[in-house]
Structure 1
Amino acid sequence: MLPSLFIAHGAPTLAVEKNAYTDALKELAGQLKRPRAIVIFSAHWESPVQEIGSADVFSTIHDFGGFPRELYEIQYPAAGDRLLAEETATLLRSAGVSVRFHPSRGLDHGAWVVLRLMYPDADIPVVPMSVNPALTPQEQYDIGRALRALRRRDILIIGSGGTVHNFAKINMWAKPGQADEWAVQFEEWLAETLTAWDLPALYRYRELAPYANWAVPRHGSEHFVPLLYAMGAADDDRRAQRLHLSFQLGSLSHVIWQFGAGTD
């Protein structure tokens, strides 16, 4: 059985950087049992109805502007898995979740940046998933929970986003490795809450977490909510471990959370 993961995808330039965080992602892939396939919820695919990517081979979406040319030349032509997409839909419908397939959408950078760092050969089938920030935290968790059985068949479930992700608060003058205190406080509250698997507190993070509205701006929670999908997918093995935490630009957090221990 594989664990589920939450992975911060950072800025698109992460795809071509080499630092402690990219090293951690590459090492993590080597430590996990090789997945048969990957189901990934990306912050950059928002939809009011749960959508499931069902392409045979995914195009690479360069959904950003103003970055170095080399980023736009990157391709990650992962294959899809229609049978797994259909199974995912069946599990969600059984849990009362409406779904629809998207046969043509490619992989946005929230998906391919993370996947390329972990599995650079693009040789593992992928089923991309949308997120819905308008749902309650419990509803987001429950969508992940509906998919927990997939982990028993060596399907890796990933939520890709960012726990502290607010462009209005980034510090362009921050030194490498420097972290703003408010961002650290939010991450430490989150660590205590996730490690204790305290769902009532997590669902009320906006009220209870320090600087929650700075870390997760009210105008956009799409980067935070993949955490809830990923955590829900390990509801049958309630163990949470933060594998990495570092910061870029003072407050943009690079974090890896593993949910469920996983077994061989």
Structure 2
Amino acid sequence: MWQAGNPSQTLQRTPYIGFASSSSSVLKRRSTPNFICVCKMGGVEKITETFFISHGTPRMSIDETIPARHFLEEWQEKVYSKRPRSILVITAHWETVVPTVNAINHSDLIYDFGGFPARMYQLKYLAPGAPDLAKRLQELLAASGFECAVDRKRGLDHGSWVPLMLMYPEANIPVCQLSVQPRLDGIHHYNLGKALAPLKAEGVLIIGSGSAVHPANNTPGCLDGVAPWAAEFDYWLEEALTAGRYEDVNNYTTKAPNWKTAHPWPEHFYPLHVAVGAAGENSKAELIHRSWDHGTLGYASYKFTSS
């Protein structure tokens, strides 16, 4: 339970409950390898892209039938071939009143889900923490007028470690997490991203980890393809992003069709706003993956290239 007077306290929500089974439907689209643009700057590789990744179900950590798993396993080969100095993950599974970073030396895992096979709770991802990056985040957010709290105990939740164990199985790149603020709006998170933009020039890979479409757990699945309401929202999002209508995305509750079903709670959408803000208002968006679970849980993922 959240209590006033403790701005860094994590907001409590029921842990992610798994489906009894997993079925996937993929919308095919022609794709080519997407290589990130990296420039040398004072000995540090300047990254010009940010990413939004739909991490979907925690079952992706063990289920080879989920198409998004293969997309993430091919990350270094087809999406991002360079090694970042460190990784910042804005995770949907850490909800706080004010922006909060974890400043730890070693990344313990949080198994913040229930109803899954026992072996998932034995998985490990021993990436180093990034306390220096956490300090830098504090500086940047303070300079932009944001209050920022620090958590010196919190490990990686599954919004971070599940995709990262597939993208970077070597677990040798320092990782820092940043929380989302579900009581605030998309504009807040977009501006949060803008404040973090200088990190790209310092070799930090910024990844928003959420879900493009994330309905309530009790939403009926679609056995025949993709639910129409989900497809309509998902394609609205793609069109708005690739057309550069970031203001529409920031104000999605007045612009997007079926938004309340696609995101009954906003925490899985807000990491996208941070990734867009960090890329910049003139950045170019590209859809780099799309697939579905049960025809309702959307795995669309995007690359944002700064101008």
CA contact (8 A) 2:246 2:281 kept: no
Q: Does 1:139 align with 2:188?
A: yes
What is the match of residue 227 of structure 1? 272
Deviations 1:44-84 (A, max 9, x none): 10000111000110111111111001100001121112211
Corresponding residue for residue 184 of structure 1 = 231
Q: Is residue 2:299 matched to residue 1:243?
A: no
Q: 1:91 to 1:261 in 2, by over 3 A?
A: closer
Counterpart for residue 206 of structure 1: 253
Higher Cα Rg: structure 1 or 2? 2
2:154 matched residue in structure 1: 105
Q: Does the CA contact (< 8 Å) of 2:211 and 2:298 recur in 1? A: yes
Aligned AA (1:161): G
Q: Which residue of 1 aligns with 2:56?
A: 10
- 2:209 equivalent in structure 1: 160
Q: Does residue 46 of the first structure (1) align with residue 46 of the second (2)?
A: no
Distance 1:70 1:108 in 2: 16
Give the Cα–Cα distance (whole angstroms) in 2 for the partners of residues 207 and 72 of structure 1.
40
Distance in structure 1 (CA, Å) of the matches to 2:202 and 2:223: 43
CA offsets 1:85-119 (integer angstroms, 9 cap, x no match): 11111011000000111110010111100111100
Matches within 5 A, 1:62-141: 62-141=111-190
Q: Residue 190 of structure 2 contacts residue 250 of structure 2 at CA under 8 Å; is this kept in 1?
A: no
Contact persistence 2:96–2:180 (CA under 8 A): yes
Which amino acid counterpart does residue 51 of structure 2 have in structure 1?
Answer: L
Q: Which moved more, 1:20-29 or 1:179-188?
A: 20-29
Contact 1:170 1:252 in 2 (8 A): no
- The alignment partner of 1:150 has SS state of helix
Which amino acid counterpart does residue 235 of structure 2 have in structure 1?
E
Q: What letter is aligned with 1:208? A: K
Report the residue type matching 2:126 in the other structure: P
- Give 1:139 shift: 1.1
Give the ranges of 4+ consecutive aligned residues of structure 1 lying more than 6 Å apart after TM superposition.
none
Change (3 A) 1:93 1:182: same
- Secondary structure class of the residue paired with 2:53: strand
How many equivalent pairs are there?
A: 257
**Aligned residues of 1:9 and 1:160 also touching (Cα < 8 A):** yes
Partner Cα separation in structure 2 for residue 169 and residue 103 of structure 1: 36
| Deviation sequence 1:130-162 (CA, Å, 0-9, x none) | 110112211110101111111122211011111
Q: Choose 82-91 or 12-21, whichever is displaced more.
A: 12-21
1:215 is displaced (CA, Å) by: 0.3
Q: Is the 8 A contact 2:192 2:274 kept in 1?
A: yes
Aligned-partner SS, 1:147? helix
Cα deviation, residue 206, structure 1: 1.4
- Tell me by how many angstroms 1:35 deviates: 1.1
CA distance in 2, matches of 1:256, 1:144: 17
Between the aligned residues of both structures, percent identity stands at: 37
Contact 1:133 1:221 in 2 (8 A): yes
SS for the counterpart of 1:17 is coil
State the alpha-carbon separation in 2 of the partners of residues 237 and 37 from structure 1: 25
Unaligned stretches of 5+ residues in structure 2: 1-45
State the AA in 1 paired with 2:219: K
The alignment yields a C-alpha RMSD, in angstroms, of 1.5
The letter for the 1-side match of 2:167 is: M
SS in structure 2 at match of 1:259: strand
What residue number does 2:305 align with?
A: 260
Amino acid at match of 2:85: R
